[in-house]
Amino acid sequence: MIAKAVYEVLTADKTLTAMLGTYEGDAAIFTIDPAPGDAVLPYIVAAAVPVQTPFDSKTTRGRTAWIDIRCYTGATGSAQAVDAIAERVRALLHREPLLIDDHIWLWSECTGPVSANEAEAYGRIVTLKVTFEEL
């Protein structure tokens, strides 16, 4: 549910999608982990919510969830492209409302980006923290 909301925000931004490769005709933003084996860099993986904690009161039920959004580009000798992608992701999600099915968004905060380089790819992780209530 959160991955879907994040996907919708990211794919709607033409500036971000212009920085990414394509996969089967769409921007290379994946909600599966790992990304498909035939995906070509640069791409984003925003697949799962690794941590969720209750955010309840006497009259409401809710939760706070964290999702890592991983951005990757080829290891070309410069990390400028991956840094630009990660900063755009952060700008799109930090303190911006999300449409989460059957829930009321309360607030969002991003941390990072932090380095997540691999042997043949530069990586950055932006962690999104979202707090929301059930309808």
pLDDT tens across 65-124, in order?
A: 999 999 999 999 899 999 999 999 999 999 999 998 888 898 999 999 999 998 889 999
Per-residue pLDDT reduced to its tens digit, 18-36? 999 999 999 999 999 899 9
46: containing domain:
2-134
**Residue 53 pLDDT grade (very low, low, confident, very high; cuts 50, 70, 90):** confident
Rg (CA), the chain: 15
What's the whole-model pTM score?
0.91
**Residue 51 pLDDT grade (very low, low, confident, very high; cuts 50, 70, 90):** confident
Q: What DSSP letter does each residue of 2-32 carry, written as one string?
A: HHHHHHHHHHH-HHHHHHS-EETTEESEESS
Res. 135: pLDDT tops 90: no
CATH code, 21? 3.30.2000.30
Number of domains forming the structure of the chain: 1
- 3-state secondary structure string, 39-80? CCCCEEECCCCCEEEECCCCCCCEEEEEEEEEEEEECCCCCH
